[in-house]
């Protein structure tokens, strides 16, 4: 059986009790450790963790109840099953033992069949729990690996869409400029009071790709990704494609969204796209900024535009 290799720590201030329990447990195939005080037991636990503790209630320094509480408060030992050992007949003692985390109670004088049954039962429960935890950990690891692979594949598809969308050298250059400026503005938001540390790396990846593919037909985008998509990078790119033509005052297309109803990614790309359009028309940077200021509360999120203008020297 699995529990035959288990190690059991016996804590009792009476040497004769320790000897009796060691004989019984070792005859049953278990390994034993022993301590005559809570202090000695604590020292043993720093060296090796047992799979069970048999704990006497009445001890001179720290009693069994107090020591059990110490075990349950320590994350390294809290799951180890504790069986109390006592000569007392009081039901109150048994009740208190269970209340503070004991799993069972063995009365003195010892009965080999009782010890065998109780120890074996609780060791098997403990080991089964450990096996379940390990299985869950491995499953969680496998699921996380699969999720990461899926997320990476989605990003790869996004980048492929971006590559397909680049038309000619001028189109590539403009797409890269909007992508770079969108990324810069999104990164800068992390250092503002309103958005401090709220802009994730995935969002920044998505907004950069959104800047490149902003003019793609949204129906094409939906061939690859559904409306229920949960990937943050995909969502940011999707929002940019779908809504970057919306206007802050609600007069934009296609949905007529207003203010912060417009997704953040779309509000960012709205600004960087407009800057790109104006510079392509031959306006100087200063002329672009002045014209954009005139559209501050009509077309653009004023908070984002003010930030954009503060970092304008970093814009391409």
Q: With a cut of 60, say whether residue 226 has pLDDT above it.
A: yes
Distance of CA 176 to the CA centre of its chain: 33
Calculate what percentage of the chain has a pLDDT beyond 90. Answer: 54
Mean pLDDT of 157-172: 64
Q: With a cut of 70, say whether residue 165 has pLDDT above it.
A: no
Alpha helices in 166-230 (DSSP H): 168-189, 201-213, 218-224
Cβ neighbourhood burial of 197 (10 Å; 0-12, 13-18, 19+): exposed
Provide the b/e sequence for 73-102 (b: ≥16 CB within 10 Å): eeeebeebbbbbbbeeeeeebbebbeebbb
What are φ and ψ of residue 308, in 5° steps?
-55, -45
pLDDT: which is higher, 165 or 179: 179
Q: With a cut of 70, say whether residue 168 has pLDDT above it.
A: no
Strand partners, 32: 8
pTM here?
Answer: 0.53
Q: With a cut of 50, say whether residue 296 has pLDDT above it.
A: yes
Which range among 26-30, 146-150, 219-223 has the greatest average pLDDT?
26-30
User: What confidence category does residue 164 fall into, taking pLDDT thresholds of 50, 70 and 90?
Assistant: low
Q: With a cut of 70, say whether residue 301 has pLDDT above it.
A: yes
| Lowest-confidence region among 83-92, 129-138, 143-152 | 143-152
Q: With a cut of 70, say whether residue 151 has pLDDT above it.
A: no
Q: With a cut of 50, say whether residue 1 has pLDDT above it.
A: no
Which three-class secondary structure state does DSSP give residue 24? helix
Nearest to 275 by CA among 186, 177, 201, 194: 177
Calculate what percentage of the chain has a pLDDT beyond 70. Answer: 92
User: What confidence category does residue 147 fall into, taking pLDDT thresholds of 50, 70 and 90?
Assistant: low
Q: d(Cα 222, Cα 231) in Å, to the nearest integer?
A: 14
Tell me the average pLDDT of the chain.
87
Which domains can be identified in the chain, with CATH numbers?
2-138 (3.40.50.2300), 166-314 (1.10.3210.10)
User: What confidence category does residue 137 fall into, taking pLDDT thresholds of 50, 70 and 90?
Assistant: confident
Mean pLDDT of 299-313: 95
Which three-class secondary structure state does DSSP give residue 259? helix
Q: What is the pLDDT of residues 243-290, one digit of tens each?
A: 999 999 999 877 889 999 999 999 999 999 999 999 999 999 999 999
List % helix, strand, coil for the chain (3-state, nearest 5). 60, 10, 30
């Amino acid at each position: 059986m699995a529990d035959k290799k288990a190690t059991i720590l016996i804590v009792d201030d009476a040497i004769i009790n320790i000897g009796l329990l060691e004989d019984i447990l070792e005859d049953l195939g278990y390994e034993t450790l022993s301590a005559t005080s809570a202090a000695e037991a604590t020292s043993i636990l720093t060296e090796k963790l047992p799979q069970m503790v048999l704990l006497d209630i009445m001890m001179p320094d720290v009693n069994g109840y107090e020591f059990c509480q110490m075990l349950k408060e320590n994350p390294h030992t809290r799951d180890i099953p504790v069986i109390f050992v006592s000569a007392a007949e009081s039901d109150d003692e048994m009740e208190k033992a269970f209340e503070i985390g004991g799993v069972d109670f063995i009365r003195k004088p010892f009965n080999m069949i009782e010890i065998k049954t109780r120890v074996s039962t609780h060791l098997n429960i403990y080991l089964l729990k450990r096996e379940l935890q390990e299985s869950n950990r491995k499953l969680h690891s496998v699921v996380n690996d699969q999720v990461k692979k899926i997320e990476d594949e989605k990003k790869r598809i996004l980048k492929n869409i971006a590559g397909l969308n680049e038309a000619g050298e001028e189109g590539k250059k403009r797409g890269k400029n909007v992508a770079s400026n969108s990324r810069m503005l999104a990164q800068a938001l992390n250092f503002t009071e309103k958005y401090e540390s709220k802009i994730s790396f995935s969002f920044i990846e998505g907004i950069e790709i959104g800047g490149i593919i902003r003019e793609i037909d949204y129906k094409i985008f939906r061939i690859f990704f559904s409306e229920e998509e949960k990937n943050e990078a995909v969502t940011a790119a999707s929002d940019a494609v779908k809504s970057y033509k919306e206007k802050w005052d609600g007069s934009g297309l296609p949905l007529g969204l207003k203010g912060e109803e417009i997704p953040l990614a779309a509000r960012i790309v709205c600004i960087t796209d407009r800057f790109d359009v104006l510079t392509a028309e031959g306006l100087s940077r200063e002329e672009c900024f002045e014209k954009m200021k005139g559209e501050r509360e009509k077309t653009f999120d004023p908070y984002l535009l003010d930030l954009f203008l503060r970092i304008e020297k970093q814009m391409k």
